[in-house]
Structure formats: structure tokens, C-alpha cells
Structure 1
């Protein structure tokens, strides 16, 4: 199985990250990303808690905010 990685981010009109494009071309939302990390399927991100305690993801060794935005 190919290692899955987040390659691009998807933002809403308020500039919040609402989804991710993987290196396979698949599109996932934050909930799916968290689930996939827990299953060991995503290799370049990890789970963190935001200021409200919700699970979100961050890059391992890179700032996820700096990834290209999906057009």
C-alpha cells in the first residue's frame, strides 16, 4: 500500500482549512484525516488539539498552513 500524505489544503471563504488533498488525488475533510491518522494511514501529519480542544492535524516537520492550496 502506498504511503498516504497530505499534499494540498482546501480553505473556505474565511481562510479556514476545511479539507486536504492527498498524494493519491483523494479529497478528505478534517474528520477523515484524524480517523486515517489513528489507523496509521497518513504518514506526514499528526493529531493535535486546537484551542477549543477539538482534534485537528498538523504537519510533521513542516507547517501545514504553508502547503499549496488546492484550486
Structure 2
């Protein structure tokens, strides 16, 4: 079966599949679909959350390191 699949993939006499316009699905930046204000706000909010995630994680790691050493660990007394 693997050889049959490889031969099918390498066969140039077959025509490639082309989707009709009505069958297009997925995320494409070409389509300028109009979003409702609520959905647009949600989309921008989630984009901001994705961009902030590394900062939040690094802040949590830094806080864990500080708590590991303790608040009074650098006290000279």
C-alpha cells in the first residue's frame, strides 16, 4: 500500500484538486468578512492576550524565584 500511495502522489497525469468558490473554508486573510463589533473586540482582545502571554509567564517565574529565596533572605541581620 505505501508504494501505491507514493505512485499516486508522483503521478503527474492526474489533475490537481481545485476547490470551487463556494467550498472555501478556513482562515484566509484574503477574505474581508465584516465582523460584528462584539466579535471584532473579542478577536482583538484575544490577540492581545496571546502577545502578553510570554510576559505573564516570565513574571510568574520571577515571582517564584523571589518566593524561593524568601522575603527576608537578603536581610544582613
Structure number with the higher strand fraction is 1
Q: Which TM bucket (shorter chain)?
A: under 0.3
TM-score by length of 2: 0.21
Structure possessing the higher radius of gyration over alpha carbons: 2
TM-score by length of 1: 0.23
Does 1 or 2 have the higher relative contact order (CA < 8 Å, sep 6+)?
Answer: 1
Structure number with the higher helix fraction is 2
